[in-house]
Amino acid sequence: MSARKVRILIAKPGLDGHDRGAKVVARALRDAGYEVIYTGLRQTPEMIVEAALQEDVDAIGLSLLSGAHLTIFPRVAALMKEQGLDDVMLFGGGIIPEDDAPALKQAGVANVFGPGTSTQDIITFVEQEMARRK
Amino acid sequence: MELTERILKADRRALARAISLVENDGEQAQKLLQEVYPHAGQAHIIGITGPPGSGKSTLVSQIARQYRQQGRTVGIVAVDPSSPFTGGALLGDRVRMRDLAGDRGVFVRSMASRGSMGGLARATGDAVTLLDAAGFDLVLIETVGAGQVEVDIAREAHTTLVVEVPGLGDEVQAIKAGLMEIADVFVVNKADHAGVDQTVRALTIMLDMNSAACSWTPPVIKTIALHGEGVADLIEAVDDHWAYLVRENALQDQQRIHAQNRLTRVMRRRLFDELLAKIGPERFEETVMQVATHKIDPYSAAARLMNSKTQGS
Ligand SMILES: Nc1nc2c(ncn2[C@@H]2O[C@H](COP(=O)(O)OP(=O)(O)OP(=O)(O)O)[C@@H](O)[C@H]2O)c(=O)[nH]1
Ligand SMILES: [Mg+2]
């Protein structure tokens, strides 16, 4: 029978108006064989978590440029917990200073990818995490 | 199953999990469908098909909103293609359904076609069954937007909307015969673009030529999905079609045909899977190579494989 497919939600929270980075990551993950649900711009944490729930995803990737990562990531993580999505991996990328990474990981973010990360780094990480969590 | 109980109570998490189960197939999925199926059969199932970028998702979102204003609940399954090479998929229909976020009366599920042709995934019908059993009043299915006509939608939906955009002009004849047969309602979306009226006229003429045989003539509705214009008319046409199905007892006929198709597909797949298990994947692969290298023709190869009772015999 067909194997279980890994599904990943890619969302772009915040108010800034372009989602090039998010789309690049979404396409790279698709090309790596994942089913990627792309939700588009200006997603609130509530929208993101509800979409993740409906789509029964294995992972959520957030792309953030606005600098609001210290509020948005923990909020998403908290809502995930509230909805019982504890087994869903949360990761993120964008303009996130390295100094903030520990706090984000503390809040439940599996990994953050700063500027200059290659899509291959992200794919490798997702692959490892998915294999580990099987 | 506990999962069944939760689905029947419209538990969103359970529903989401259940859709993954039927997508991934297997014994648990069969057990689930066995329990859930008797509770389905209540929803009005509406299919939306049309070329890529014609505005299907935008329309789905608008249709859902209109029905929500009437207090009716809406389940949505939106299908996008899987890559035949990597098996991956980019499912982007939710982008146009942003307005539906936060409404508990709506459930949206994106689905990859996973190698199925014809605009739907193998499990689309099963996902619709789950949404139906969970009590959604309407279930909308958005097909893959491929270049050609996606006629498979008509085997799942009670009402099929075929979306076109202005500017088909002379190509109308090229609107492949299949389209006329599956469309219950024609939508000419992007009516803010030039050439709408020609397109509407061309479609209407074609429908008039076809209408003699049938007691339902598909209406042609102009919409600007982007602004919700014409969507009220569209809803009215969809409801008219439902009323027609009920009035003319056409619903039973349709349900019988749908059931026959579905049963046939399941049997065909099972038969193939069982046969393949008997033959053994190695032997099958070997034969594929022989056909590929023209050492044997596909008909003789099939005959030989299908006569073999056990692996390696
Ligand atoms: N001008 C105009 N643009 C529209 C209208 N309806 C939708 N669009 C735009 O057309 C584009 C495609 O719309 P979608 O709803 O994604 O179309 P689709 O048929 O679902 O596309 P696929 O799922 O990719 O096949 C988007 O940019 C919409 O904003 C309309 O009535 N007028
Ligand atoms: Mg679409």
Find the CB nearest B17 among A5, A27, A56. Answer: A56
Q: Is residue B30 part of a domain?
A: no
Query: So what's the pLDDT on residue A2?
Result: 45
Q: Is residue B184 part of a domain?
A: yes
Q: Which of B49, B57, B77, B189 gets mutated to test ligand 1 (max ligand atoms within 8 A of its CB)?
A: B57
pTM for the predicted model, two decimal places: 0.93
Task: Using the predicted structure, report yes or no on whether residue A70 has a pLDDT greater than 70.
Answer: yes
Q: CB distance B114–A51 less than 8 Å? A: no
Query: So what's the pLDDT on residue B100?
Result: 95
CB B81 within 8 A of CB B146: yes
User: B68 with B138, same domain?
Assistant: yes
Residue A113, token pair as written in the block? 């990818």
Find the CB nearest B101 among A1, A7, A50. Answer: A50
Q: Is residue A25 part of a domain?
A: yes
Look up the CATH number of the domain holding residue B126. Answer: 3.40.50.300
Instruction: Write the pLDDT tens digit of every residue in B239-251.
Output: 999 999 999 889 9
**Is A55 in the B-facing interface, judged by CB distances under 8 Å?**
yes
Q: CB distance A3–B25 less than 8 Å? A: no
Query: Is the predicted ipTM greater than 0.90, yes or no?
Result: yes
Q: To which H or E segment does residue B52 belong? A: none
Q: Is residue B206 part of a domain?
A: yes
- Tally the domains of chain A: 1
Buried b (16+ CB within 10 A) or exposed e, B3-27: bbebbeebebebbbbbbbbbbbbee
User: B253 with B236, same domain?
Assistant: no
Q: How many CB pairs under 8 A join A and B?
A: 86
Q: Is residue B180 part of a domain?
A: yes
Q: CB distance B90–A5 less than 8 Å? A: no
Instruction: Write the pLDDT tens digit of every residue in A80-90.
Output: 999 999 999 99
Which residue range(s) make up the domain with B240?
Answer: 40-248
Q: Is residue A44 part of a domain?
A: yes
Buried b (16+ CB within 10 A) or exposed e, B247-266: eeebeeebeeebeeeeeeee
Query: So what's the pLDDT on residue A14?
Result: 81
**Which of residues B248, B267, B289 is at a domain's end?**
B248
User: B178 with B295, same domain?
Assistant: no
User: B214 with B126, same domain?
Assistant: yes
Q: Is residue B147 part of a domain?
A: yes
**Which of residues B192, B220, B248 is at a domain's end?**
B248
- Between these two residues, B118 and A52, which has the higher pLDDT value? A52
Q: Is residue A49 part of a domain?
A: yes
Query: So what's the pLDDT on residue A90?
Result: 97
User: B239 with B261, same domain?
Assistant: no
Residue B280, token pair as written in the block? 């053994």
Query: Where are any strands of DSSP class E within chain B?
Result: 44-49, 74-80, 89-91, 106-112, 138-142, 159-164, 185-188, 220-222
Look up the CATH number of the domain holding residue A17. Answer: 3.40.50.280
Question: Residue B238, CB half-sphere, CA atoms under 13 Å: how many?
Answer: 27
Q: Is residue A1 part of a domain?
A: no
User: B301 with B209, same domain?
Assistant: no
User: B225 with B263, same domain?
Assistant: no
Which residue range(s) make up the domain with A58?
Answer: 7-133
Q: Is residue B11 part of a domain?
A: no
Query: So what's the pLDDT on residue A68?
Result: 84
Taking all residues of chain A, what is their mean pLDDT, rounded to a whole number?
A: 91
C-alpha of residue B280 to centroid of ligand 2, in Å: 40
CB B190 within 8 A of CB B165: yes
User: B153 with B129, same domain?
Assistant: yes
Mean pLDDT score, A90-98: 89
C-alpha of residue B51 to centroid of ligand 1, in Å: 10
Query: So what's the pLDDT on residue A134?
Result: 74
Query: So what's the pLDDT on residue B147?
Result: 61
Q: Mind telling me how many Å the CA of B209 is from chain A's nearest CA?
A: 42
Q: Is residue A77 part of a domain?
A: yes
User: B140 with B227, same domain?
Assistant: yes
Q: Is residue A2 part of a domain?
A: no
User: B174 with B67, same domain?
Assistant: yes
- Between these two residues, A65 and B234, which has the higher pLDDT value? B234
Q: Mind telling me how many Å the CA of A46 is from chain B's nearest CA?
A: 8
Pocket of ligand 1 (CB under 6 A): B 50, 52-58, 93, 96, 145, 189-190, 192, 224-226
Q: Is residue A123 part of a domain?
A: yes
**Is B277 in the A-facing interface, judged by CB distances under 8 Å?**
no
Query: So what's the pLDDT on residue B172?
Result: 56
Ranges in chain B, pLDDT < 50: 311-313
**Is A130 in the B-facing interface, judged by CB distances under 8 Å?**
no
User: B261 with B214, same domain?
Assistant: no
Instruction: Write the pLDDT tens digit of every residue in B199-209.
Output: 898 888 888 87
- Tally the domains of chain B: 2
Q: Is residue B302 part of a domain?
A: yes
- Name the residue with tokens 């789905």: B60
Query: So what's the pLDDT on residue A133?
Result: 81
- Beta bridge partner(s), residue A8: A36, A59
Q: Is residue B104 part of a domain?
A: yes
User: B226 with B311, same domain?
Assistant: no
